[in-house]
Structure 1
Amino acid sequence: MSLFRVDPDNPFSGPHQNQPVVTGGVSMDDANIGMILIHGRGASAQSMMLFAEEFTRDDIHYRAIQASRHTWYPRSFLAPKEMNQPGISSGLQFIHEEITQINNAGIPTNKIMLLGFSQGACLTTEFAARHPQYYGGIVGFSGGLIGEEVKSQNYSGSLKQTPVFLGCSDRDPHIPQERVDRTEQIFSQLEADVTKKIYKEMGHTVNENEIKFVNGMLNNM
């Protein structure tokens, strides 16, 4: 089964279309960088705006997207993809719509960072892997590519050395380290500049070292 990819001429319509977007930082007209924030299962777009307080640049426009019923897809990200439809495709379409919104304000994709946590990190990495081009940055906090198995032949193209950060605990209750490792392999195959950090017994959270690294990514954009 081929993977869904966004078709601008034939947009996908699903549960997450027309959901709210929480914005922050400077206006798009005043921004040099756009950041799209994707929350985890049971969380909210508003909760992701807490990250805006951690980043030091003052020229970022933040857009946090909200999943229908606070969940991007119903089952584990390790389940067969078809069991998590139409949520996955609808979420990928939502990310594409927000990139287009930022592009239309004059900010190119190479100045846009996609950042997700947990279920949002899974959606973030899946979007970038299915739609490779040069992004400002891709950040997956405690997440990885979606599906019962991840087949390299399903992903093609080039991320053109896009900076990618993958951070996770070695004992995350939701994210097996093996899937983070596999995600790193796929992104390397797609010619991204990948940094993977595995933290001992961190749990399912984000730590200061990860925030520091992402600040460095932003400062290099």
Structure 2
Amino acid sequence: MSENVHMQAPLQTSGPAPEVAGVVAILIHGRTQSPADMFAIAQRLGTPDLACVAVEAAGNSWYPDKFMAPLASNQPFLDFALERIELLVVQLEECGIARSQIVLIGFSQGACLACEYLYRHPARWGGLIAYTGGLIGPEGTSWLTPGILWGTPVFLGNSDEDVWVPLSRTVETVRVFERMGADVQLAVYPGMGHLVNDEEISLGRALVQSLLNRIS
């Protein structure tokens, strides 16, 4: 299979045009979800000056297996998903939006994909907001950290008993990003379900607003 199945759905947007806003959020939905779910999260952030662009997975799933399954079991779909995000980033750069003006926001499978993309494309990004996510790969994975994130602000939130994303993997991800030079904040919520709570929204809003203030 050579055709990237995730390229088929058109991009969906909300808010001002990227070149007007100066700051763009790339929204990455979870398994069985759609861009509408991420636009709902973006609306909760309450940052109307933020341009939002949502990518959509083929069949509402970025890759077929669990995110901690052997990498081969999620190919070629994982590579397709990462390629989809990179193509969008390049398109934004062609509109004058630097990577330091782009925030990746994902939930669940989308948060895992956002983490993996950031790890594989180290730079000074505008930020990463990963609601219930972590780096992709089987238990026991060792992540090399040759790239530098140059102080990129990163927020990761998770429950201590999430059924899909173990907190241990989120903590591992924090350590990897810290070694890469990111400014990482972790929030853990005892007994929380598989959702994004109001405090996580508030912390995400603070990250985005700080970037908006810096760019304006």
Q: Distance in 2 between matches of 1:38 and 1:204?
A: 16
The aligned residue for residue 201 of structure 2 is: 211
Query: Of the candidates 70, 84, 106, which is equivalent to residue 94 of structure 1?
Result: 84
Q: Secondary structure at the match of 2:20?
A: coil
Q: Distance in 1 between matches of 2:111 and 2:37?
A: 15
Q: Distance in 2 between matches of 1:184 and 1:52?
A: 23
CA displacement at 1:13 relative to structure 2: 4.5
Which runs of structure 2 are paired with 1:74-153 in the superposition (5 Å)?
74-149=64-139, 150-153=141-144
CA displacement at 1:70 relative to structure 2: 0.4
Q: Is residue 68 of structure 1 aligned with residue 55 of structure 2?
A: no
Q: Deviations over 1:4-42 (max 9, x none)?
A: xxxxxxxx8522123221111111232121000000000
- Please tell me the residue identity of whatever aligns with 1:202: M
Q: Distance in 1 between matches of 2:143 and 2:43?
A: 37
CA displacement at 1:188 relative to structure 2: 0.8
Q: Is residue 202 of structure 1 aligned with residue 186 of structure 2?
A: no
Unaligned runs of 5+ in 1: 1-11
Checking the alignment, whether the CA contact within 8 Å between 2:143 and 2:176 is kept in structure 1 is: yes
Checking the alignment, whether the CA contact within 8 Å between 2:108 and 2:133 is kept in structure 1 is: yes
CA displacement at 1:56 relative to structure 2: 3.0
TM-score (ref. length: structure 2): 0.93
Q: Distance in 1 between matches of 2:102 and 2:79?
A: 21
Where does structure 1 differ by over 6 angstroms across 4 or more consecutive aligned residues? none
CA displacement at 1:130 relative to structure 2: 0.9
TM-score (ref. length: structure 1): 0.91
Q: Distance in 2 between matches of 1:29 and 1:39?
A: 23
Write 1 or 2 for the structure with the bigger share of helix.
2
CA displacement at 1:92 relative to structure 2: 0.5
Q: Distance in 2 between matches of 1:195 and 1:185?
A: 11
- Please tell me the residue identity of whatever aligns with 1:74: P
- Please tell me the residue identity of whatever aligns with 1:144: G
Q: Percent identity?
A: 38
Q: Distance in 2 between matches of 1:191 and 1:30?
A: 30
Q: Deviations over 1:46-102 (max 9, x none)?
A: 221112212233321111100000000001001001100111111111111111122
Unaligned runs of 5+ in 2: 212-216
Q: Distance in 2 between matches of 1:13 and 1:217?
A: 36
The aligned residue for residue 161 of structure 2 is: 171
The aligned residue for residue 4 of structure 1 is: none
